[in-house]
């Protein structure tokens, strides 16, 4: 059988960035295909790329298009992905199926991490990671994102975990898997739509430089001959800005209502909840989501830039 097998298709922009040792930031695409309605999803995707560039790095949106793993998309490709009604949501288990059957889909945090690592990208920005769902003691619904953070060496910048989750249980699993959870300029784990969950992070850091130093030590990027390397991810929890945050009690009531109405399971849970919360808040949650992801893209670009500078030295 004749087959062409290309593992990764890396865009011209991103290849040039690698060649010139410029900082690169990975961006996920499930937020485009399943996280927001059109045209918000497209506007967010374009704004994120802009935030990364404005902060001195090159964006690489990752997705699967017609069975090819793509690292770096053009504006036209982003537009067409954002309008795709039949795009799949691709987590770790779905990726080989999508490649074999030449599907198109958005990559979740888990798959974006896998692909970023393959491509040599160390820093990745998203909105909020998946985690342990409320009621997981009976449904067993725990996102593959947590497993991936335990094994794949990429730094994920997020506004904590998605607010629909059980945050204490999510933090427990991250601790079990050895994932440093860094409060970025904060002591408490942020709760996505609002800043304070009352839960502790594993450490606090206040600058891109500090995070870059952690990454160098964790993965031994300086190749110190007698140093240890600790494989696995790092979660940088970057709280939403106060002016974009929602009222805690109000949004918690909405989340409880949306969870109560949910009749779906498995991979449909998160997209259903995000869209229902959007309806119930009359779009306010989507505005917050848009703002917090941009804030994460800015910090990710700053960390990626600091990391490149340290490795160059």
Instruction: Kindly state the tokens that stand for 79.
Output: 């537009």
The distance of closest approach from Cβ of residue 264 to Mn ion in the complex, given in angstroms and rounded to an integer, is 10
Q: How far apart are CA 154 and CA 304, in angstroms?
A: 11
Residue from the set 23, 25, 30, 105 that interacts with ligand PSU by CB under 6 A:
30
Stretch that binds ligand PSU, among 40-48, 61-69, 137-145, 250-258 (CB under 6 A): 137-145
Least Å distance, CB 268 to ligand PSU, is 8
Which positions ≥6 away from 72 have C-beta within 8 Å?
A: 10, 11, 12, 13, 14, 58, 59, 60, 61
Closest by CA to 207, choosing from 309, 306, 308, 297, is 306
Residue placing its CB nearer to Mn ion in the complex, 215 or 269: 269
- State the residue number with the nearest CB to Mn ion: 141
Is residue 162 annotated as a catalytic residue, yes or no? yes
Largest separation between any pair of C-alpha atoms in the chain: 60
Is 143 exposed, middle or buried, given 0-12, 13-18 or 19+ CB atoms closer than 10 A? buried
Nearer to ligand PSU, 197 or 270 (CB): 270
Phi, psi (degrees; rounded to nearest 5) at 133? -75, 155
Q: Nearer Cβ to ligand PSU, position 274 or 303?
A: 274
| Shortest Å distance, C-beta 101 to ligand PSU | 20
Q: Which of 12, 28, 137, 282 is catalytic?
A: 28
Helices and strands, counts by H and E, the chain: 13, 11
Closer CB to ligand PSU, 127 or 208, in the complex: 127
Within 145-174, the residues that bind ligand PSU by CB under 6 A are 145, 162
Closer residue to ligand PSU in complex, CB, 144/186 = 144
Q: What size, in residues, is the chain?
A: 313
Beta strands in the chain (DSSP E): 9-10, 24-27, 58-65, 68-71, 88-90, 105-107, 123-125, 155-158, 181-184, 203-205, 234-237
User: By CB under 6 A, is residue 143 in contact with ligand PSU?
Assistant: yes
Asked if residues 130 and 165 have their Cβ atoms less than 8 Å apart, the reply is: yes
> Which of residues 72, 128, 208, 239 is near ligand PSU by CB under 6 A?
128
Stretch that binds ligand PSU, among 4-12, 179-187, 200-208, 266-274 (CB under 6 A): 266-274
User: How many CB atoms are closer than 10 A to CB 160?
Assistant: 33
**C-alpha 165: how far from chain center:** 15
Nearer to ligand PSU, 155 or 308 (CB): 155
Q: What does 239 bind: ligand PSU, Mn ion, none (CB cut-off 5 to 8 Å by kind)?
A: none
Candidate list 55, 82, 108, 295; residue touching ligand PSU; CB under 6 A: 108
Out of 127, 160, 190, 239, name the contact with ligand PSU by CB under 6 A: 127
Q: Is residue 59 part of the contact set for ligand PSU (CB under 6 A)?
A: no
Smallest gap from Cβ 226 to ligand PSU, in A, equals: 37
Span near ligand PSU by CB under 6 A; candidates 39-47, 123-131, 175-183, 214-222: 123-131
Is the Cα torsion angle 217, 223, 228, 234 positive or negative in sign?
A: positive
Residue 31 CB partners (closer than 8 Å, separation 6+): 41, 44, 45, 106, 126, 127, 293
3-state secondary structure of 209: helix
Catalytic residue among 89, 103, 162, 218: 162
Which residues contact Mn ion by CB under 5 A? 141
CB-based contacts of 206, cutoff 8 Å, min separation 6: 184, 185
Binding site for ligand PSU (CB under 6 A): 28, 30-31, 34-35, 91, 108-109, 126-128, 130, 143-145, 162, 267, 270, 274, 289
Q: Which residues are catalytic?
A: 28, 162
């Amino acid at each position: 059988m004749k087959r062409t097998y290309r593992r990764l298709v890396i865009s011209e922009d991103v290849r040039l960035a690698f060649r010139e040792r410029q900082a690169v930031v990975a961006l996920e695409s499930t937020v485009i295909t399943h996280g927001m309605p059109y045209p918000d999803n497209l506007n967010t995707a374009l704004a994120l790329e802009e935030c990364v560039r404005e902060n001195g790095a090159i964006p690489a949106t990752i997705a699967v298009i017609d069975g090819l793993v793509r690292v770096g998309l053009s504006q036209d490709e982003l537009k067409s992905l954002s309008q795709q009604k039949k795009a799949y949501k691709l987590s770790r288990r779905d990726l080989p199926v999508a490649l074999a059957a030449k599907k198109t889909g958005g990559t979740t945090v888990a798959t974006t991490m896998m692909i970023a690592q393959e491509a040599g990208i160390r820093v990745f920005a998203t909105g909020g990671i998946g985690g342990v769902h409320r009621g997981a003691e009976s449904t067993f619904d725990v996102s593959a994102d947590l497993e991936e953070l335990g094994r794949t060496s990429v730094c994920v910048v997020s506004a904590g975990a998605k607010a629909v989750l059980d945050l204490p249980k999510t933090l427990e699993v991250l601790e079990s898997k050895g994932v440093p959870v860094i409060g970025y300029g904060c002591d408490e784990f942020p709760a996505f739509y609002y800043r304070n969950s009352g839960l502790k992070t594993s450490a606090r850091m206040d600058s891109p430089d500090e995070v870059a130093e952690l990454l160098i030590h964790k993965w031994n990027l300086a190749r110190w001959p007698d140093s240890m390397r600790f494989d696995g991810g790092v979660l940088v929890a970057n709280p939403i800005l106060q002016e974009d945050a929602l009222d805690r009690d109000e949004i918690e009531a909405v989340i409880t209502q949306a969870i109560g109405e949910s009749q779906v399971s498995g991979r449909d849970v998160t997209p259903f909840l995000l869209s229902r919360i959007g309806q119930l808040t009359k779009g306010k949650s989507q505005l917050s989501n848009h703002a917090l992801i941009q804030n994460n893209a800015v910090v990710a670009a700053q960390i990626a830039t600091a990391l490149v500078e340290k490795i160059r030295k």
